[in-house]
Amino acid sequence: MRPIRIIPAISLILAFFAALIAFKATHWFWEDTAMPSTSLNTMAYRYHFVMIAHNTEETYWKQVHTGALSVARNADSALEYFSSRFLNLKELERYLEMAILSSVDGILISIPNQPELTALITEAFTKEIPIVSLSNSLETHPRLSYVGISAQNLGYQSGMALKKAAVRKIRAAVLINSNFSTESYQNYLHGFHRAIGSDSNIRLEMVVNSKGESISAEEQTQQILKHHPHIQAIICTDPNDTLGVAKVVVDQNRVSQTLIIGCGLTEEIANYIKREVIWGVLAEDPNELGAQGINTLIRLKTKNAEQEIYNLPLFWVDKSNVNQIYSKFSYTARRKNP
Amino acid sequence: MKQIGHRVPVTIRSKLLYSFLIMIGIFTLVSLFSYYSEQHMLNRFNVLLSNNLKLKEFRTNIDNVVTSLEQYLISRNFNMLRQYYQYSQEVDADYPNLKTIEPSLDNYLLLENIRNMTRSFLKQTEIAVQAKRARDSSGYHKAFLEVVRYGTNINWAIDRLITQQLEESSRQYLYISKRLATIQRLGLLLIIGALIFSVITTLWVSFRLTTPLQRLAKAAQIISKGNFSTEPLQVTTEDEIGVVTRAFNEMTQNISKLFAEIKLQSDLAQRLQEQELQNLSMKNVLREAELQALQSQINPHFLFNMLNAGVQLAIIECADQTAEYIDKVSNLLRYNLRQLDKPVSLAEEFNHLQTYFFILKSRYGEERFTFETELDPNIASFQIPLLTLQPIVENALIHGIENLESGGKIQVQAFLEAGQVIIRVHDNGRGIPPDTLQQIKEGQSKTGHTTGLGLQNVKERLRIFFGESDLMWIDSKPNDGTTIELRLPTYGRYEREIDDACTGCR
């Protein structure tokens, strides 16, 4: 190449690379990165659903939301998610009221059984807004659909697990979440008693209403173990209760003396199971809970059904399968939210 | 190598133009880049703030609708009703155009909630007004409670949206600040790069311009001192300097060529002058020879007539030997009187030598001398000046064998050797005394005996005839005879004859 050609050639190359660097370095600047890539698609939605949850456990509800969002996307539906970390009734009421006043297409709820909230649910039904409960805490309503675990099944499975563990005489205490509706409470105990039957090795010493909070459960467990040191098994109906009981048992160095049968699977609970602090838990797939919630709402909208009840399968998780089940739940979450 | 295609020459002006334009272009790009970066960021902030302000205004209008409606329901004041309509119309006009600058899914759905609630809110307000007009107190009370409920929820939703957007704006502010810092660093890098490029380009261009000029100036200095043997300058550019360099090279070559031609012409002129001088010299020699010949001629025809009469008389008297002798003498004289400037063949010269030897034998007797001639027939026609050999033989006789009582011998040989005709005259006489030999070699022996032509004369005529000197070689040793050798070239005007004659010799 002639020398004179070198100057324009080098200049062009430099200009090209400068432009390339400038573009590479600033392309994020010129485009609106605040806009999620999926937002435009979701704006053209068929249904607008709202999910309102009392967020008792961060990871668990994140997975529930992931499952629900995945199905909603596939059904060209938008899902709005409101959650309250602590039990703030006013906040939950605000979310529910706004959803009803906005005339959304459907609402997924996991809220405590409080009169203010149930009144709003009734208002929603008057406005033909379908509501699906994701927990067993609400009183039965002729039009309230339900997706979740059956309280009776939970009680029965818990009793069967205790029966299996009780090779000798054992005295047990049950912590039932106070958010359970009266019907769910009774169903749970009915199932439990049906499982243990007339097994003379098992004696249900006490039934305690818990608040579904870890700190509260710790306090209650301390009281139980202090005043009833002969209690050798504690059965829980809530993941926070399970964690609270496990912490106290570890703190009081009673791991080998106290059998814990929990409910729900989180990373922390999985670790306790691996360390044999918790003997085992009964858990449903949180992704499946969210997914079936949305599916139920869509069915209610499309088939004009009044009510649907969908009981999720319960998985028994102990040291032998904790990794497998936990990976399965986590994998499902990843797959649905790539 | 010949270049294929036409190359558009890039002039110095183009080079400078390109360089400056590129530099200006780069700086302009950097400036524009910085300008648009800042402008974009400012616009973004403006949109953020103005959108939040609009939402706030909308919220205020919702409150105003509720307030004016309440006032109207309480007082049934027409002004309040007018205010209510004014605000409700504003709300009605505004709510479809509400926007979120961060259209994330959550924000967008929240905005949809606000729109839906506003729609229901306006319906409820209208129901309340209608109930008031119908004096349905329970109806407008109930409707107003719904209006308040909707208003509260709309305000809450707007507050939540503004908060979310502010949170997002704050997050983006930090994000954009970082981006801006990055862009500023990038701009700085670009400026530094552009500066470096400018400096390099300037140096490069000046170097490219001045180096060929310096080489040209140096070459011009060398040539101005008369040295045209310098190597042609290398043409590295296609600009004006390249053109000048190429022209300079051609000029140098042309001057050098002209000098060579002038020198050649000068040499030719010198050779011509020498040739003229040689011709003049030859004419002088010829004139001298002719003069001498005239002096020795009394009346050749009379002499030859007398000698012929002598021959006839001898024949009548039956004196055959005398007749032959007189005939030979007559032939000798006739040969001697031929024109000196006309060349003869070697055969003629050798015949003449035979005649001469006959006369000498007649004079000195058969026993005293022997003569031998040997001529290569291939060179018999070789042309040499008249009377070349006789003076040499005469010299051999006088200085060599004349004083010998017997056994004198003269050998004359002519043959071809290495492209030259060699004529060798050898005698076995006493040899030429060194002083005499020296005189002969120095050209001081000028006169002959019979012909009046000395060796020097022969030597000179040979030089003129063949155009070369040193054609005669003399080798003589006391009491060991003398050898005179002529080495005559065969090129020039006699070459073809020699070639023809010597076919098969080479």
pLDDT tens, position by position, A153-185: 999 999 999 998 887 888 999 999 887 888 889
**Would A179 be classed as within a structural domain?**
yes
Architecture of domain B343-501: 2-Layer Sandwich (3.30)
* pLDDT above 60: residue A3: no
Regarding whether A307 and A189 lie in a shared domain, the answer is no
ipTM of model: 0.74
Regarding whether A328 and A278 lie in a shared domain, the answer is no
Please say whether the beta carbons of A228 and A173 come within 8 A: yes
Inter-chain residue contact B112 with A102, CB threshold 8 Å: yes
Regarding whether A196 and A317 lie in a shared domain, the answer is no
**Would A304 be classed as within a structural domain?**
yes
Inter-chain residue contact B120 with A103, CB threshold 8 Å: yes
**Would A310 be classed as within a structural domain?**
yes
**Would A21 be classed as within a structural domain?**
no
Q: How far apart are CA A240 and CA A263, in angstroms?
A: 9
| Cβ of residue B207 closer than 8 Å to a chain A Cβ | no
Per-residue pLDDT of chain B (506 residues; tens, 9 = 90+): 444 445 555 677 777 777 778 777 777 777 777 777 777 777 777 877 888 888 899 999 999 999 999 999 888 888 889 999 999 999 999 888 888 776 677 888 888 899 999 999 999 999 999 999 888 888 999 999 999 999 999 999 999 988 888 787 777 778 777 777 877 787 788 778 778 877 887 888 778 778 888 888 888 888 888 777 778 888 777 777 888 888 888 888 888 888 889 989 999 999 899 888 888 887 887 777 677 666 655 567 777 888 888 888 888 888 888 888 888 888 888 888 777 778 899 999 999 998 988 888 888 877 788 889 999 888 888 889 888 888 888 888 887 887 777 788 899 999 988 888 999 999 888 887 787 777 777 766 555 455 446 787 888 888 888 888 788 888 888 878 889 999 988 865 445 454 554 444 43
Q: How far apart are CA B350 and CA B326, in angstroms?
A: 20
Inter-chain residue contact B116 with A103, CB threshold 8 Å: yes
Regarding whether A269 and A165 lie in a shared domain, the answer is yes
**Would A217 be classed as within a structural domain?**
yes
What pLDDT score does A34 carry? 41
Inter-chain residue contact B186 with A81, CB threshold 8 Å: no
Regarding whether A60 and A107 lie in a shared domain, the answer is yes
**Would A201 be classed as within a structural domain?**
yes
Which tokens is A329 given?
A: 């739940």
Q: What total of structural domains would you count in chain A? A: 2
Q: Which amino acid is at A113?
A: N
pLDDT tens digits, one per residue of A305-324 = 778 888 899 999 999 999 98
For chain A, the average pLDDT equals 84
Regarding whether A49 and A145 lie in a shared domain, the answer is yes
Which tokens is A230 given?
A: 């002969």
Distance from CA of A94 to the nearest CA of B (A): 8
What pLDDT score does A39 carry? 41
Q: Over range A216-239, report the average pLDDT.
A: 90
Residue-by-residue DSSP string for B394-460: HHHIIIIITT-SS-EEEEEEEEEETTEEEEEEEE-SS---HHHHHHHHHT-----SSSS--HHHHHH
Distance from CA of B122 to the nearest CA of A (A): 12
Of B139, B138, B122, B121, nearest in space to B130 by CA: B139
Regarding whether A197 and A139 lie in a shared domain, the answer is no
Regarding whether A276 and A167 lie in a shared domain, the answer is yes
Inter-chain residue contact A39 with B204, CB threshold 8 Å: no
Which tokens is A40 given?
A: 């435009």
| Cβ of residue B148 closer than 8 Å to a chain A Cβ | no
CATH code at A68?
3.40.50.2300
Regarding whether A263 and A193 lie in a shared domain, the answer is yes
What pLDDT score does B454 carry? 75
pLDDT tens digits, one per residue of A19-69 = 777 666 666 555 544 433 334 444 678 899 999 988 767 778 888 999 999
Helix (H) or strand (E) holding B383: strand B383-384
* pLDDT above 50: residue A235: yes
Q: Which amino acid is at B117?
A: M
pLDDT class of A104 with cuts at 50, 70, 90: very high
Which tokens is B329 given?
A: 């003498």
Of A9, A11, A29, nearest in space to B193 by CA: A11
Helices (H), B76-136: 78-94, 105-133
Of B23, B196, B30, B181, nearest in space to A19 by CA: B30
Residue ending a domain, among A267, A283, A299, is A283
Of the candidates B29, B110, B150, which has its C-beta nearest A101's C-beta? B150
Q: How far apart are CA A209 and CA B383, in angstroms?
A: 157
* pLDDT above 60: residue A82: yes
Distance from CA of B106 to the nearest CA of A (A): 6
Q: Which amino acid is at B321?
A: Q
A309 by Cβ neighbours in 10 Å (0-12 / 13-18 / 19+) ranks as middle
Contacts of A21 in chain B (CB under 8 A): 186
Regarding whether A158 and A48 lie in a shared domain, the answer is no
Regarding whether A256 and A173 lie in a shared domain, the answer is yes
Inter-chain residue contact B109 with A3, CB threshold 8 Å: no
Handedness of CA B355, B359, B365, B368 (dihedral sign): negative
Residue A315 forms beta bridges with which residues?
A: A283
Q: Over range A79-98, report the average pLDDT.
A: 87
Q: How far apart are CA A114 and CA B28, in angstroms?
A: 68
Handedness of CA B212, B214, B219, B220 (dihedral sign): positive
CATH fold for domain B12-217: Four Helix Bundle (Hemerythrin (Met), subunit A) (1.20.120)
Residue ending a domain, among A264, A283, A302, is A283
Helix (H) or strand (E) holding A259: strand A259-263
Of the candidates A26, A38, A48, which has its C-beta nearest B183's C-beta? A26
End-to-end CA, chain B: 47
Please say whether the beta carbons of A18 and B26 come within 8 A: yes
Q: Which amino acid is at B232?
A: P
Residue numbers of the domain that contains A255: 151-283
Q: How far apart are CA B382 and CA B375, in angstroms?
A: 11
Regarding whether A66 and A140 lie in a shared domain, the answer is yes
| Cβ of residue B201 closer than 8 Å to a chain A Cβ | yes
Q: Which amino acid is at B107?
A: N
Residue A83 forms beta bridges with which residues?
A: A53
Contacts of A97 in chain B (CB under 8 A): 149, 153
What pLDDT score does B444 carry? 62
